[in-house]
Chain A
Amino acid sequence: MLPDEKQFGPIAETAPADWPGFGDEEQLLARLRAGDDAAYEALLERFQTPVYQLVCRLIDDPNEAGDVVQDVFLKVFRGVGSFRGQSSLKTWIYRIAVNEAHNRRRWFVRHRRPEVVLDGEEEGPARLERFSDHGRTPYDWTLNNEMRIAIEEALEGINPVFRSAVVLRDLEELSYEEIADILDVSIGTVKSRILRGREALRRALMEKLEPARGLEWSPQTASD
């Protein structure tokens, strides 16, 4: 029994999910490996929206999210044959999504920013902000309120390492165990990252909502 399991009782949230029409996850995997169209359809139905939401929250440019999601599912479909079931299908797919989002984000930081700077116009983030259309679709306009903008901006501003943990916990509502499995870290590290992520969000949000308070700033590191 894991130490955390001893302290907080059995881990109920990591139980395997049911798959209507396929029985359990093993049967779904067998059908996926056999190339059954219905199994692929069911997998997409279950995960396409959560994965898209997750990726949208993990990368700074939502316009890239579609490409990342396609890459994620391509890896899932290609890798399902070698998936050994050491973790649940859900955490495996989320892990691929988190890794892909981080890779895209790193690529973006390395390659896009110098191109923008060479133009000699606005600096990278400002120019990207001008060209990206997040928050400018009709859907977004209807939901454009102060709190949403504040929390989204605060989320984009925090360290990506902490952001992953907070997004998985507070938006995707995964358990600490699932997050540890997805991020491939210990539960203690998950706790620490969630704590620091929420604290960074709290400071950023309070600064935006109550600028007069001028809360103290402290640097963030991804050492744990």
Chain B
Amino acid sequence: MMDCQQVKLTLSAFQDGRVLDGERLAIEQHLAACESCAERLEQLELVRHSLRNLPRRPLPAHLKYSLRSLASREAARRRYYAGLRGAVRAFGERASLWVNNLMRPVALPAAGGLVSAVFLFVLVLTNFQGIVRQHPNDVPLAIITAPTVRSVLFDLSDDSEVTLDVFVDEQGRVLDFVIPEGFGSAASHEMRRRLAATLLMTSFNPATAFGQPVSGWVRVKFRGRSEIDVRG
């Protein structure tokens, strides 16, 4: 036998026939015995009856026309977009709209920026005189140059020819030298001493990189009697 609380929770489903057979019998038995629950069911039936008998509001005429117009418009729109051509056209329209929406907010700043850039460029161009070379022996910028021989005080004092690779620092001083492969070698200590003395008395212009003096190697060929050939 169900109690009042259980029946109270199932009365709504009972009204709609959404209870199992056994449950329905138990509820009916309880209702036959319990006046309070029977009255509650009666009230719920009154509620449902009242709801079902609520007057139907007539559809306003203007709404009917509006809906018909809407349907006609949407049907035409759908026909327009039907088929491949329509799809392509629709895609084009959507893309155009998307680009417009994307660009419109930045159109004014972008145009302003472009005009400003052109204006500034013209302003600079009218005042631009070109590169004026003030001194003919200026070191050209933006290139890398090898060390060069500035002057030789002594030479080898004979007709021998020696080729050397000389390492010159950024102040034009000789720090090291070697005889490159295939150009012979310093046969004697005396020969090396003479070479060192000759280089000691030879001044170099240092190598440059972008106008700044840097250290670097240079190949120098001594041909006796101060005939010097320099290869960077």
Interface residues, chain A, with chain B CB atoms under 8 Å away = 4, 7-8, 32-37, 39-41, 43-44, 48-49, 52-53, 56-57, 62, 66, 69-70, 73-74, 77-78, 81, 139-140, 143, 147-148, 150-152, 155, 166-167, 169-171, 173, 176, 191, 194-195, 198-199, 201-202, 205-206
Contacts and interface: CB of A to CB of B under 8 A. Distances in A.
Nearest to B71: A40
A151 B50 contact: yes
B59 A48 contact: yes
Given A170-B48, A206-B43, A70 B67 contact: yes
Given A37-B72, A70-B66, A53 B79 contact: no
B194 interface: no
Nearest to A150: B50
Nearest to A72: B67
B59 A205 contact: no
Contact of B71 (A41, A53, A151, A171): A41
A69 B12 contact: no
24 contacts: A4-B18, A8-B17, A34-B82, A35-B76, A37-B72, A37-B75, A40-B71, A53-B57, A57-B54, A66-B60, A66-B62, A78-B74, A139-B57, A166-B51, A170-B48, A171-B52, A176-B18, A194-B16, A195-B12, A199-B44, A202-B47, A205-B47, A205-B50, A206-B43
A167 B56 CA distance: 13
B33 interface: no
Query: How many residues of B sit at the interface, in one of the four size bands?
Result: 35 or more
Contact of B74 (A34, A77, A140, A198): A77
Contact of A152 (B13, B20, B54, B72): B54
B68 interface: yes
A202 B43 contact: yes
Contacts, number: 123
Nearest to B17: A8
Contact of B67 (A73, A173, A205): A73
Contact of B66 (A66, A77, A171): A66
A19 to B, nearest CB: 15
Which secondary structure dominates where chain B touches chain A? helix
B150 interface: no
Contacts of A169: 16
A170 B12 CA distance: 11
Contacts of A147: 50
Nearest to A206: B43
Contacts of A150: 50
A206 B47 CA distance: 9
A74 B74 contact: yes
B72 A40 contact: yes
A170 B51 contact: yes
Contacts of A201: 47, 51
Given A52-B63, A81-B78, A195-B13, A143 B55 contact: yes
B70 A205 contact: no
A52 B13 CA distance: 27
A143 B57 CA distance: 11
Given A56-B57, A171-B52, 19 more contacts: A34-B79, A35-B76, A48-B63, A52-B63, A53-B56, A62-B57, A66-B60, A69-B67, A70-B66, A77-B71, A139-B55, A148-B54, A194-B16, A195-B12, A198-B15, A199-B44, A205-B46, A205-B50, A206-B43
Nearest to A134: B57
A3 B226 CA distance: 114
